[in-house]
Amino acid sequence: MSNENRQFDAVVVGSGPNGLAAAIALARAKKQVLVLEAGDQLGGGLRSAELTLPGFVHDMCAEVLPLTVGSPFLSTLPLSEFGLRLLQPPIPLAHPLDGGRAAVLDRSIDRTAHGLGADGAAYHRLMEPIVAGWRPLLGMLLGPFRWPAQPLMLARFGLAAILPATVLARVTFRQAPAQALLAGVSAHSILPLERPVSAAFGLVLAMLAHAVGWPVARGGSQRVADALVGYLGSLGGQTRTSVHINSTAELPRHGATLLDLTPRQVLPIAGTELPNRYRQQLASYRYGPGVFKIDWALETPIPWQAEACRAAGTVHLGGTLAEVASAEAAVWRGEHPARPFVILAQPTIVDPSRAPAEQHIAWAYCHVPNGSTVDMTGAIEAQVERFAPGFGRRILARSTRHACQMEAHNSNYVGGDINGGVQDLLQLWTRPVARRDPYATPNPRIFICSSATPPGGGVHGMCGYYAARSALRQLSISAGRG
Ligand SMILES: Cc1cc2nc3c(=O)[nH]c(=O)nc-3n(C[C@H](O)[C@H](O)[C@H](O)COP(=O)(O)OP(=O)(O)OC[C@H]3O[C@@H](n4cnc5c(N)ncnc54)[C@H](O)[C@@H]3O)c2cc1C
């Protein structure tokens, strides 16, 4: 590429939240940083666009941002000074069941427990100690594996978190609403709910609902990227768009390379600079199911049967624990469930700026087998219609992307996998390869900073932050030698 002859301390390839977090951590350490992005817009999974009709601003990927506001790194950045406003819906999450009822995950543990009736006390016992220690717990969970600062707290969380979500739901709760609620939050793991550790994702997301809420960004998630880029610029960091890197040989002169990429792209770009054994390990990295994504422009709010759903930023559509578990298991068998588990967000209930007056948008996806090209529009809309009769008549326009189109939009979503690789017990802490420092590669100049490193998917920037720390250690060693 023609990027000047100047020398950068570090070049970051990819401008997702992890790439930008890495660049910021490096720039704060007074390093000269350049971020190169293949797309024409910075932000990776944070991009927003008018996908349906003029005036309707949709989030192309991430929408709901509990991990952003809870992130031990991103939460320390002055992003509000760069235009970011996070908006909290009245209720973080509702999970409707047939018959017009819904389980509600409220900001308050007490109100959530109260709404769960006979399971309320059990919910309180499960969540109260986790929420009380949320900050140190999140600090331990959102990073590479290391000896925990508070082993007892982690052990107490771990006893519940290691369980399959189906087991935790059935031993803790007796009634359908609480069981379904736990199933829905756990299904964000994109694991079969019968698998160990699937409960961990549900517990962390429920904990965050109580601790920090499940906000959306005013104006769309692109505003998070814009604020990160603005702050990076104020630190002297540089960015370029529409630069697709095919090989590290194309990069301008620099010290460290940080790749906001998953193993599938790291191999062609940097493979020749990595030893055989490491290349083989990257090649055996496992990707999980993909997603089918849909965005709607709507004439009115969604006519939910259950009142609580109207005030919820996120709504989980899939019915009971057994139904959600069966839909997720089907995806892992390579099938497209007729009644998929759908994660739906309705940001315009708190952010009218994202649609013309009185009109609305909604965002949803369901899991599908990796590499799927099947159109799930009908199945997803039937799930919405099941809990919001008349929904179909409110649709002004829709935009859809199947799993392969998700990958075409962003090559990090291999086969539509939005977590940058399977997040099961075997690959959660060992991503992309089991190493003491998973961000470093055997080449002392090359680092991986994407969600294919711990702690995995989500807009928390912690993969980037830890990769930058690793690169800074190496840069200071090189400076010492130089
Ligand atoms: C449909 C969907 C819904 C989601 N919902 C949420 C949510 O609600 N909340 C949440 O926290 N997370 C959500 N996520 C997950 C979140 O978006 C990702 O985990 C996160 O964006 C990963 O960040 P990253 O920096 O690792 O990579 P990415 O955000 O994927 O960024 C990688 C960047 O690298 C660029 N790139 C790739 N190859 C090259 C190349 N060769 N040269 C130059 N640039 C390149 C890409 O264009 C991209 O911009 C969702 C994701 C999707 C797809």
pLDDT tens digits along 300-354: 999 999 999 999 999 999 999 999 999 999 999 999 999 999 999 999 999 999 9
Say if residue 3's pLDDT is above 60: no
386: phi then psi, degrees, rounded to nearest 5: -60, -40
Higher pLDDT, 151 or 453: 453
> What strands, in cross-sheet order, belong to the sheet with 342-345?
101-105, 91-97, 312-317, 342-345, 360-368, 290-298, 395-401
For the segment 164-204, what is each residue's pLDDT rounded down to a tens digit? 999 999 999 999 999 999 999 999 999 999 999 999 999 99
Can you give the pLDDT at residue 145? 81
- 432: preceding bond cis by omega (within 30 degrees): yes
Q: Which of 481, 447, 456 is nearest to 25 (CA)?
A: 447
Q: Which of 473, 441, 423, 468 is nearest to 141 (CA)?
A: 423
Can you give the pLDDT at residue 482? 55
Strands 216-217 vs 86-87: parallel, antiparallel or unpaired: antiparallel
Residue with CA nearest ligand 1 atom 10:
458
Q: How far apart are CA 223 and CA 350, in angstroms?
A: 16
Span from the CA of 45 to the centroid of ligand 1 (angstroms): 3
User: Where does the pLDDT of residue 2 fall: very low under 50, low under 70, confident under 90, or very high at 90 and above?
Assistant: very low
3-state DSSP call for residue 94?
A: strand
Output the six-digit token pair for 52. 């349906």
CA angle, corner 59, sides to 57 and 62, nearest 5?
A: 160
Output the six-digit token pair for 406. 């998700």
Q: Mean pLDDT across the stretch 455-475?
A: 96
150 CB within 6 A, ligand 1: no
User: Where does the pLDDT of residue 95 fall: very low under 50, low under 70, confident under 90, or very high at 90 and above?
Assistant: very high
Q: How far apart are CA 180 and CA 103, in angstroms?
A: 8
Output the six-digit token pair for 282. 């990257």
450 CB within 6 A, ligand 1: yes
Span from the CA of 297 to the centroid of ligand 1 (angstroms): 23
395: phi then psi, degrees, rounded to nearest 5: -80, 125
Q: What residue type is 269 in one-letter code?
A: I
Q: How far apart are CA 356 and CA 57, in angstroms?
A: 10
Span from the CA of 293 to the centroid of ligand 1 (angstroms): 14
The torsion angle over the Cα atoms of residues 278, 283, 288 and 294, rounded to 10 degrees, is 110
Q: Mean pLDDT across the stretch 385-395?
A: 98
Pocket test for ligand 1, best of 69, 367, 410 (most atoms within 8 A of CB): 410
Query: Which residue intervals of 220-376 are DSSP H helices?
Result: 222-234, 263-270, 276-283, 307-310, 321-332
Ligand 1: atom nearest CA of 20 is 25
Q: How far apart are CA 51 and CA 251, in angstroms?
A: 33
Residues pairing with 13 in the sheet: 36, 259
291 CB within 6 A, ligand 1: yes
Q: Which of 170, 177, 145 is nearest to 158 (CA)?
A: 145
pTM of the model: 0.96
62 CB within 6 A, ligand 1: yes
Q: Mean pLDDT across the stretch 50-63?
A: 98
455 CB within 6 A, ligand 1: no
Query: Which residue intervals of 37-175 are DSSP H helices?
Result: 66-70, 109-115, 120-132, 134-141, 151-161, 165-172
Span from the CA of 60 to the centroid of ligand 1 (angstroms): 10
14 CB within 6 A, ligand 1: yes
Span from the CA of 406 to the centroid of ligand 1 (angstroms): 10
Can you give the pLDDT at residue 90? 98
38 CB within 6 A, ligand 1: yes
CA angle, corner 15, sides to 9 and 16, nearest 5?
A: 130
Can you give the pLDDT at residue 4? 54
> Do the Cβ atoms of 231 and 82 come closer than 8 Å?
yes
Span from the CA of 458 to the centroid of ligand 1 (angstroms): 8
226: phi then psi, degrees, rounded to nearest 5: -60, -40
Q: Mean pLDDT across the stretch 353-375?
A: 98
Tell me the torsion sign for CA atoms 103, 108, 109, 113. Answer: negative
Span from the CA of 453 to the centroid of ligand 1 (angstroms): 13
For the segment 246-298, what is each residue's pLDDT rounded down to a tens digit? 999 999 999 999 999 999 999 999 999 999 999 999 999 999 999 999 999 99
> Do the Cβ atoms of 212 and 70 come closer than 8 Å?
yes
DSSP H/E element including 12: strand 8-13
Ligand 1: atom nearest CA of 401 is 1
Q: How far apart are CA 360 and CA 252, in angstroms?
A: 45
Q: Which of 36, 15, 27 is nearest to 237 (CA)?
A: 27
Pocket test for ligand 1, best of 61, 269, 344 (most atoms within 8 A of CB): 61
Say if residue 37's pLDDT is above 50: yes
Can you give the pLDDT at residue 5? 62
Span from the CA of 180 to the centroid of ligand 1 (angstroms): 28
Q: For 203-244, give the DSSP string.
A: HHHHHHHHHT---EETT-THHHHHHHHHHHHHTT-EEE-S--
Pocket test for ligand 1, best of 60, 266, 418, 423 (most atoms within 8 A of CB): 418
Residue with CA nearest ligand 1 atom 21:
45
63 CB within 6 A, ligand 1: yes
Pocket test for ligand 1, best of 412, 414, 453 (most atoms within 8 A of CB): 412
Can you give the pLDDT at residue 244? 97
Residue with CA nearest ligand 1 atom 12:
458
Span from the CA of 468 to the centroid of ligand 1 (angstroms): 18
Q: Which of 438, 65, 406, 405 is nearest to 259 (CA)?
A: 438
251 CB within 6 A, ligand 1: no
CA distances (Å), origin 415, targets 31, 137, 269, 429:
35, 32, 19, 22
Percent of the chain whose pLDDT exceeds 90: 93
Span from the CA of 12 to the centroid of ligand 1 (angstroms): 14
Can you give the pLDDT at residue 389? 98
30: number of Cβ within 10 Å: 9
For the segment 442-464, what is each residue's pLDDT rounded down to a tens digit? 999 999 999 999 999 999 999 99
Ligand 1: atom nearest CA of 42 is 49
13 CB within 6 A, ligand 1: yes
Query: Which residue intervals of 235-275 are DSSP H helices?
Result: 263-270
260 CB within 6 A, ligand 1: yes
Q: How far apart are CA 435 and CA 443, in angstroms?
A: 13
Can you give the pLDDT at residue 96? 98
Q: How far apart are CA 289 and CA 417, in angstroms?
A: 6
Ligand 1: atom nearest CA of 412 is 30
Residues pairing with 362 in the sheet: 296
